[in-house]
Amino acid sequence: MKSPLQETVDLETLRLLEKKVLWLASYMIHHANHIRPSRDSLKVGGHQASSASCATILTALYFQSMRPEDRIAVKPHASPIMHAIMYLMGRQELDKLKKFRGFGGVQSYPSITKDTTDIDYSTGSVGMGVAATLFDTIVQDYISDHGWRDSESPGRMIALVGDAEFDEGNIFEALLEGWKHHARNLWWVIDYNRQSLDGVVDDALFERISRVFDSLGWKVSALKYGKKLMAARNGPAGEAIVDWIDRCPNQLYSALTYQGGADWRSHLELDLAGTSGLKEFLDSHDDTALAEVMTNLGGHDLESLTEAFDEAGNNEQPQCFIAYTVKGQGLPLAGHKDNHAGMMSPTQMEQFQKQQGVPVGAEWDRFAGMEKEKDRLVHFIDNCAYQKRKKSSKKSGSLVVPSITAPVGDKYSTQEAFGKIMFELGKEKGEFADRIVTTSPDVTSSTNLGPWVNRRKLYAREDMADVFKDKHIPSTQIWQKGPHGQHIELGIAENNLFSLLGQLGLSARNFGQRLIPVGTLYDPFINRGLDALNYATYQDSRFIIVGTPAGISLGPEGGAHQSIGTPLVGLTQPNLTSVEPAYGDELAVLMEWAFDYLQQDDGSSVYFRLSSRKIEQLPRTLSEGDRADLVKGGYWLRRPTPATTRAIVYAGAIAPEVMRAVQELLADNRDIAVLAITSSDRLYRDWSEARRRGALEKKPGTSHVDGLLSQLARDVEIVTVCDAHPLNLSWIGCIRGNPVVPLGVEGFGQCGDLPDLYEYFRLDSAAIVAAHGRLER
């Protein structure tokens, strides 16, 4: 029996829209590859077959099932279908479609920063957009539980997933985290076309995957048969035919789909010989009708899809729909194992255009070939629930950052300073502190977030007591959980950390509520989450990531825990600004700046590389000039004089070795300047931009590092020192051509105390002094 909503489904109109969506998407790809002039002879591509397999699914979702508050991640290769739907809805410009995969046109894969329409999730990195929907449900619940969401009903986070995406491990890491945090209002619709780039998916794959979903509390709905197949099941030889399909290997099914009705007929006659009613069934279908019935899978049947989506309704339980489809359905490429990167030839497209009833010259018209139904189609589109969604992105104002001061103490590490600053922020009363949300992959305590969590509690949808506290067992941790907590604890999976940070950092865009996300992890393990970090920054998400402990300064932990190249990640990653302070007062200045910077339109996320090495703090009060300079990336700790012939440029916790080297050089009557680098990243970007303006725009300008180094003569010898790969700082020799000896770490470390490790890697004061000696002429 149909639900009230199903009674209102206009299947005839939906089928017309499905037909038009498939045409526009296919022609968009054809135009980009065969009609638009090519200036470089490169194949444009566009995945006609992958798009065709989900045309029905997306038609059902966008035009019938999705509500304004719902959000959807569209699988990467289905972007032409999505763009076609946006065009029919009046949300995408025709010129953008004509430039598909071209500069200024719609993107090859959905992108919230590059496309100029309703994109909820970027999905260019396979699997990442899928996981993002799960973490967005957690963000939505977090915002609601803290009382920042109005009466608007919670949106469903929907992912249209390619079946081959389940080869990506990050999806399964996310599934486990979703179970821990009781993720809800979540739909994953799997386009189960059983074909990937290089072959056909194993037949038993989804028997296993569906069990994973079931074990984690999801409702699994297999949409295998469409209405035609279900009707055939009740007719002559029906049970035998359906049973034959169930047992048919994916490769054979795909091959028969490509070959067509005559081959379906011969196989059925051979395999089901002697079956009662088979001849009657076959005789009642010509080859075309037989192929239509045998490929009438649930993922291509609008009635089956809309019924299933309606039945799921507002059920908070996560829903997994396994929608059986044919890759390339409706195209001459359907079923062929090579169709992933294939596309219709001009001759095939000409025939397809005739089948679609699109007049020559009217290929881009929204309703070409459907003029008699135009008014009905326009009315239907204008009144579908999704069209009530506002076209403009939600905005949220900036939060005022309180003044941040350095912790009191003679000797401490930047990691300790970070923990103390966060603890003090936890004491603050006001909106800024309330909007901070922290997270960590099971290293909350060892990254010094514990005091903050003790004060601000852990987040969970339901209150959970700290049993140790209730039983009066002494512990430094007060792990109380509840809906108003401000720390989201994660398991040991860095991909999940960056996936969650990415969605928390988009809360202003997605939900109109700004959060200040802060995540911590051991610095070397940034590399384990680089795919998710790249995904987050590609979307221009805004958060702070604290990598600590860092470098070989984490001596006893051994080489696997000693980061080397992470500063280069920070230096080269777009939309991420990396900083590495040495002292507590530098950290305080940079944290105050970072909290504001991540909220600015031209800002970015910020990566702090901190150390667990305790160092003597400098007895000083930073001048306003030095504070401004260190935010720009560097300042003179020991300023040059006209007599200066040597300089040391350093970053981070290696500062004590630098200071000892300075004392040795001064004792030998050698004048020395010391430049403290707090952000090689900001220095480089500023210098690069200044050069670009000068070379291309003929606009003279001086970068901050130019201004700093202009105080040195060009022949002044520079030694760069950092507890990381020397390339982090050695590029500074390019600025004015000063001779440079770069010191740093270029190999895996080992266990040891700092004197042994610094001597081994030539980072101790003796090595710094000797480096200057090697430069002498």
Structure confidence by residue, pLDDT tens digits, 415-445 = 999 999 999 999 999 999 999 999 999 899 9
Mean pLDDT in residue range 693-713: 84
Res 137 pLDDT > 60: yes
Mean pLDDT in residue range 360-379: 95
Distance CA 376, CA 363 (A): 20
Res 198 pLDDT > 70: no
Q: What is the pTM of this model?
A: 0.93
Decide if 570 contacts 576 (C-beta within 8 A): yes
Distance CA 114, CA 111 (A): 5
At 125, give phi and psi (nearest 5°).
-90, 115
Distance CA 153, CA 141 (A): 11
When the pLDDT of each residue in the chain is averaged and rounded to a whole number, the result is 91
Mean pLDDT in residue range 16-31: 96
Structure confidence by residue, pLDDT tens digits, 303-338 = 999 999 999 987 889 999 999 998 889 898 887 877
Higher pLDDT, 360 or 471: 360
Tally of CB atoms within 10 A around 659? 18
Distance CA 131, CA 157 (A): 10
634-638/672-677 β-pairing: antiparallel
Higher pLDDT, 264 or 6: 264
Pick from 414, 417, 436, 415: nearest CA to 425: 436
Res 347 pLDDT > 60: yes
The reported pLDDT for the residue numbered 197 is 45
Pick from 197, 123, 127, 129: nearest CA to 157: 129
The reported pLDDT for the residue numbered 5 is 44
261-271 vs 250-259: helix crossing angle, rounded to 10: 130
Res 203 pLDDT > 70: no
| Of 354-358, 546-550, 555-559, minimum mean pLDDT range | 555-559
Res 495 pLDDT > 90: yes
- Per-residue burial over 686-721, b if 16 or more Cβ lie within 10 Å, else e, is bbeebeeeeeeeeeeeebbbbebbebbeeebbbbbb
The reported pLDDT for the residue numbered 446 is 92
Structure confidence by residue, pLDDT tens digits, 654-691 = 999 999 999 998 887 778 999 999 999 999 999 999 98
Tally of CB atoms within 10 A around 69? 16
Decide if 615 contacts 413 (C-beta within 8 A): yes
Distance CA 249, CA 204 (A): 10
SS (H, E, C) 187-209: EEEEEECCECCCCECCCCHHHHH
| pLDDT band at residue 143 using 50, 70 and 90 as cut-offs | very high
Decide if 82 contacts 130 (C-beta within 8 A): no
Most confident of 434-438, 441-445, 472-476, 550-554: 434-438
Encoded amino acid at 542, one letter = R
Residue 428 tokens, joined: 């603050």
